[in-house]
Amino acid sequence: MRVRVLGSAAGGGFPQWNCNCPNCSALRSGSLKARPRTQAQVVVSPSPATWFLLNASPDLRQQLLATPELAPSAAKSTSPVATILLTSADVDCVMGLLHLREFQPLHIFSMPAVRRILTEENSIFRVLTRSNPPVRWDNLQPDRIIPLVPPSALGMKDGFFCKAVPLFGGFPDYISDSLRHSLSPDEAVIGLQFIHKEKRFFYAPSLPGVGDDWRRTVDESDLALLDGTFWKDDELIATKRSTKTAREMGHVPLSGPHGLLSQPFRLGKARRVLIHINNTNPVLNEDSREHRAVRDAGFEIAYDGMEFET
């Protein structure tokens, strides 16, 4: 399968329009060895001309236009990207659905709670029902493998499958208390594991780091794109951009005790790549000791346009 990173930054992108942290200001002035990045967006393809969107970023329109392979084909005049899988109802994951509203029949997979948040309380997403046929929602279920593309014949191993891995994060703060209390916590944030011809790709742009299932999933995968949002647990407090720690926001930090870099991953198989990198994160600076520490710990750092074949 092919995996392409259209955007690699956390919410706000890099630089962020209203941020003057050392990274953002140095990138603007041209004195930082770093790449600008759009907000996290990944597409995965089991075969030519079939692409699945993993979430729908606020930068989605720009990201699609920058990727000629994702343009509608001349022959059929239909888009090769009609299916979207959502990992949570966070603004960064769903805002781009509004970019897809141009009367395109869409197929969205999500946990039932995410669907309820978007359809019961946020009426703006009803624009997706104007297409003919209207948007089709299908539920993902914890740890259940579902076919996204069925095998071409009985016994063939060419199908494309997906499994939702509950990651036990929180629901977004924009939803009402009454809805929140009626939702199951294991549906708030998931990772997605894709399986094609015995290769496995795990996508977890938000990783609270709770329990062991997520680490087992990384270990059994050939490629894992993982939450690289923050270097330190108190990163946003130190830059006065929030009063919450990284962990309180559902992101295991890279450094520190029990940080992502110190997790006891099995050596060898999985190619581990950080994505969803916040503009305050020092790993964005390619000359920094933190950037070096990430590479020394066996991780790569995603950038816009990065591509994998697995």
Residues that bind Zn ion (CB under 5 A): 16, 19, 21, 24, 279
CB of 90 to Zn ion, least distance (A): 19
Nearer of residues 22 and 151 to Zn ion, judged by Cβ: 22
Nearest to 216 by CA among 236, 193, 197, 242: 193
Nearer of residues 202 and 303 to Zn ion, judged by Cβ: 303
Nearer of residues 17 and 155 to Zn ion, judged by Cβ: 17
Cis omega (within 30 of 0) for bond into 133:
yes
Nearer of residues 19 and 93 to Zn ion, judged by Cβ: 19
CB of 31 to Zn ion, least distance (A): 14
Which helix H or strand E contains 217, and what residues bound it?
helix 213-219
Which helix H or strand E contains 116, and what residues bound it?
helix 112-116
Nearer of residues 104 and 239 to Zn ion, judged by Cβ: 239
CB of 83 to Zn ion, least distance (A): 33
CB 4 within 8 Å of CB 309: no
Nearer of residues 17 and 173 to Zn ion, judged by Cβ: 17
CB of 87 to Zn ion, least distance (A): 24
> What does 63-86 look like in DSSP terms, one character per residue?
HHHT-GGGSPPTTT---S--EEE-
The whole-angstrom separation of Cα 84 and Cα 43 is 9
Q: Tell me the CA distances in angstroms from 305 to 36, 41, 67, 68, 287, one per residue in order.
A: 12, 10, 9, 12, 21
CB of 229 to Zn ion, least distance (A): 13
CB 37 within 8 Å of CB 5: no
The whole-angstrom separation of Cα 11 and Cα 272 is 21
CB of 18 to Zn ion, least distance (A): 9
Report the number of secondary-structure helices (H) and strands (E) in the chain.
8, 14
CB of 25 to Zn ion, least distance (A): 8
Nearer of residues 36 and 142 to Zn ion, judged by Cβ: 36
CB 203 within 8 Å of CB 227: no
